[in-house]
Amino acid sequence: MKLKFFTFLLLIGLAACNKSPEQIKNTANREEFKFLEKDIDFIRQGYESNAFTVQEVVQAYLNRIEQIDKNGPKINSIISINPDALKIAEELDKELKEGKIRGPLHGIPVILKDNIDTHDKMPTTAGSRALMNSFPLQDSYVAKKLRQAGAVIIAKANLSEWANFRGELSSSGWSGVGGQTKNPYVLDRNPCGSSSGSAVAVSANLTMLAVGTETNGSIVCPSQINGIVGIKPTVGLVSRSGIIPISFTQDIAGPMARTLKDAAIMLGAMVGIDSADSKTLASEGKYYTDYTKFLKKDALKGKRIGLYKAPLGNNYKVDTLFNQAVKFLKSRGAEIIEIDRIGAPRTGYYSFQIMLYEYKDGLNKYFQSLGENAPIKSLEDLIAFNKQDSVELKYFNQAYLEMAQKKDDLNSKEYKDFLAKMLRGSREGGIDSVMNLHNLDAIIAPTGGPAWKTDHLNGDSFQLGSSSPAAQAGYPSITVPMGFIGELPVGISFFGRAWSEPLLIEIAYAYEQGTKHRKMPEFLVHD
């Protein structure tokens, strides 16, 4: 089927500008945006040489959001713009003139998934109409750390509402507040989720960096489907305080970028021990403020890498690309050991039950943190709101909210039993067991399949995925581009033991730099 590009057809006529669709595409991607596919190093060098200011960079990204996200192809990845972004940029420019650099992200535009609290003029909504006017009383720990590092938070990204743990037959990237986010490669395709807008904004060059969150797959799936890099850290490496929760055991925030180097720079700015998140206490002595020291192009030689076979056999086109990736890894000196299974039986069931228990507890605590003016006071209030709202239940139900509401508190014997079984099955009976048995440095698998057509009637159509072993264990995973199936990108995941981010970054970087599969999207539509 012939493909046509239609960016800017709503703004300018072909006859008036006398340009072909191909020329318009090239104009949109190259001539009108001078920071296209640029990285942090490029921006830093520009500031050092006075080639441009922070204000000019931020304004350029804001203009591109207006042109690409709100007009043209209307990819719909952004929920709100920070009205103080240019003011913040002005302050950062002043500091640069004074020779002051806050940190590694000084003057770098960042977008946050809209379940991450910011204490500014942007609400934090989780994509829910119930929180459209919810303004947190303080920054999340992640937002605070990014500001300290000099980042400019320019916007909040759309997401699968409530991080895609609300109901059955949901469509990833849809929220009551933001509507449906589109895949920038082919616009009727899905962006995956729940960090949909974060991934799309990075891929479409609406920002340099974004933050996503993951409970199971919500960083790595949208990253791979949108052709970018995503890092899901070890639970405890990055604080969750001020992030609307699902699971205290599995939730984590992580960087999303077009290159692993940019993601590594951002990760170093996000880590740290936070007294408000007890999980971070375990990271003492295990985190780094600079992960770029682990970017080694020759890191594959002598590495023992497990090949997780379970996702294979679902899509021969994905298998073909994955086999090419394995061949590359072997060519650079890695030894590949096949693994049939990771984790004990029923681990996924225990994980789901734990999520329901922790969701109720976490949401009620989050609503309480919003103070006496909170629009929603409890999970029970939220369920009641959705039943009365004209939009929220239009496409899918709220079964998971209702199931969570029926759960007891976290003192429940059942909850504690499920938690112990899940952690044992995913850790000492899962990743740790397999890696110890075969003396592995990392495990690889296809991250997922190509994007499916968005379908609000039937919901998502996943073919395959590999996020569960690392997600259930709370261990790290990195996805980088693996190639294309037609116009659609897919990724490869590297995961392993707790706190093994340095080793995974080494291995993933060697693969990324040796293959360089990233290609920018062109906002295609089918006839």
Catalytic sites, residue numbers: 113, 194, 218
CA angle centred on 418, ends 413 and 419, rounded to 5°: 100
Helix (H, G, I), strand (E, B) or coil at 333: coil
Contacts of 238 (CB under 8 A, 6+ apart): 142, 252, 253, 254, 267, 270, 271, 280
The rounded distance, in Å, linking the Cα atoms of 441 and 337 is 11
What's at 257, amino acid-wise?
A: A
**Pairing verdict, β 477-485 and 229-232:** antiparallel
The rounded distance, in Å, linking the Cα atoms of 416 and 393 is 32
Q: Name the phi and psi angles at 179, rounded to 5.
A: 75, -155
The rounded distance, in Å, linking the Cα atoms of 305 and 300 is 9
Residue located via tokens 């180097």: 261
Q: Are 520 and 75 in contact (CB under 8 A)?
A: no
Instruction: Tell me how far apart the terminal alpha carbons of the chain are, to the nearest angstrom.
Output: 7
In 406-465 the beta strands, taken as DSSP E runs, fall at 442-446
Q: At what angle do helices 260-270 and 40-48 cross, to 10 degrees?
A: 80
The rounded distance, in Å, linking the Cα atoms of 205 and 57 is 12
DSSP 300: T
Pull the structure tokens for residue 381.
């209030």
Residue located via tokens 């993601």: 263
The rounded distance, in Å, linking the Cα atoms of 252 and 237 is 8
